[in-house]
Structure 1
Amino acid sequence: MDCKAALAEAGGDVDKAIEVLRIKGQASAAKRSGRATSEGIVASYIHATGRVGVLVEVQCETDFVARGDEFVQFAREVAIHIAGAPSPPVFVSAEEIPDELREAERRVFEAKAREEGKPDDVVAKIVEGQVSKWSREVALLEQEHVRSDRYEGQTIEDLRAQLAAKTGENIRIARFARFVVGEG
């Protein structure tokens, strides 16, 4: 029945109807974001060289979804991304970045801009842009998936939101660990 209503809302245009359905799916996923995620899986990925390994905990609301192929595949794709990201993520989301660290980066970017002799009004804009870019680089959900052949232009958050809309559940990447031989 949703399809018929979306088609009517789009004036018979199938492409617009698909867009309407996607927007409604994302809106209903946003409503679910506050619900508890007590089920899920820990996915792993070890690169072919054996020098990089990743563990990632992905949570959902029900065991039924946690055992589903799409959920398991999503968790594996996240692990693959973390292993292969050119700029490995440090935090799951930008909201997790501590204020002290964000301020330290802001000071570094500001000092750099001032060294280059930029005017004060330009410095503020440069600093905000640089901090925003840095946040996207260190936050997993903000990064574009490394497998651009399969997920061109899609961030990890986009993929998570699509799965949440498809399953009708709150999907959450709880934490991850990346191991590299010779580091840490």
Structure 2
Amino acid sequence: MAITAQMVKTLREKTGVGMMDCKKALAETGGDEEKAIKYLREKGLAKAAKKAGRSTSEGLIGNYIHSNGKIGVMVEIKCETDFVAKADQFQQLAKDVAMQIAATNPVCVSPEELPQELLEKEKAIYLQQAMEEGKPENIAQKIVEGRVNKYYKEVCLLEQPFIKDDKKSIKDILNETIAVLGENMQIGRFCRIDMNDAAPEESKDDE
């Protein structure tokens, strides 16, 4: 199948990835846009894994104030250089992550940061539910595992579906930006203030 300029342009608009990478992805997948998007995500994940150990001493504070003026967010987005911190794609990432936090109110950045006592409490609830449904213990444990993974998508920022495109997670958005800009990036601390709450909620540093 011939890869047209319009196909490349459309894929670039959907993913934010460079034109040559989009063209290659379409060529590798026979012009199938959905497969090309998956190809680019996997490529981005591989690039992110290679860069994961590199120091992130630069970055910026993303912020978002909801239209009603009653919910505000600040989030630390880290990268390797000041040059990348000034890039449009990086600044858009910071805005999107801040907006995500405002909308979804995550407990923490990643599953590794989730308080153990909170996780154990959820597991106990899921196990009791499965046993009450009459499931054998081995099946009940698998059900607990599945419900825990679903719980991560509710309370852990990186695992949450992106509010602008629920086919992607925040981790996908982060990895796509890493693939485009070529630097390691991390989401660090965040603070979400809701005037309806008694106090702001703050995560631990993601280091």
TM range (shorter): 0.7 to 0.9
Report the Cα offset of residue 105 of structure 1. Answer: 1.3
1:53-96 deviation line (CA, Å, top 9, x unaligned): 111110000000111111111100111111112xx211101111
1:134 aligned residue = 151
Q: Does 1:91 align with 2:108?
A: yes
Q: What is the CA distance between 1:100 and its match in structure 2? A: 2.9
Q: State percent identity of aligned pairs.
A: 51
Q: In 2 relative to 1, CA 12–120 (structure 1 residues): closer, same or farther, beyond 3 Å? A: closer
Q: What's the offset of the Cα at 1:112?
A: 2.3
Q: Does 1:112 align with 2:126?
A: no
Q: Which runs of 5+ in 2 are unaligned?
A: 1-19, 199-207
Q: Does 1:32 align with 2:51?
A: yes
Distance in 1 separating the partners of 2:181 and 2:128 = 47
Counterpart among 164, 169, 175 of residue 155 in structure 1? 169
| Residue in structure 1 matched with residue 203 of structure 2 by the alignment | none
One of 107, 121, 142 as aligned partner of 1:125: 142
Unaligned stretches of 5+ residues in structure 1: none
Tell which deviates more after alignment, 121-130 or 160-169. 121-130
Distance in 2, Cα, partners of 1:8 & 1:115 = 52
The 5-angstrom pairing of residues 4-19 of structure 1 reads none
The CA RMSD measured in Å over matched residues stands at 2.9
SS of equivalent to 2:73? strand
Corresponding residue number in structure 1 for 2:189 = 175
Give TM-score, length-normalised by structure 2. 0.74
Cα distance, 1:118–1:159 mapped onto 2, change above 3 Å: same
User: In the TM superposition, what is the alpha-carbon distance from 1:3 to its structure 2 partner?
Assistant: 9.2
Query: Structure 2: which amino acid aligns with 1:47?
Result: H
Aligned residues: 179
What is the CA-CA distance between 1:137 and the residue it aligns to?
Answer: 1.0
Q: Is the 8 A contact 1:94 1:136 kept in 2?
A: no
CA distance in 2, matches of 1:11, 1:53: 45
- Structure number with greater CO (CA < 8 Å, separation at least 6) is 1
For normalisation by structure 1, the TM-score amounts to 0.83
Would the alpha carbon gap of residues 44 and 12 (structure 1) be closer, same or farther in structure 2, given more than 3 Å must change? closer
Within the candidate set 180, 190, 197, 1:166 is matched to 180
Structure 2 residue aligned with 1:69: 88
Deviation at 1:161, TM superposition (A): 0.1
State the Cα distance separating 1:20 from its structure 2 match: 6.1
Letter in 2 for 1:103: E
SS at match of 1:154: strand
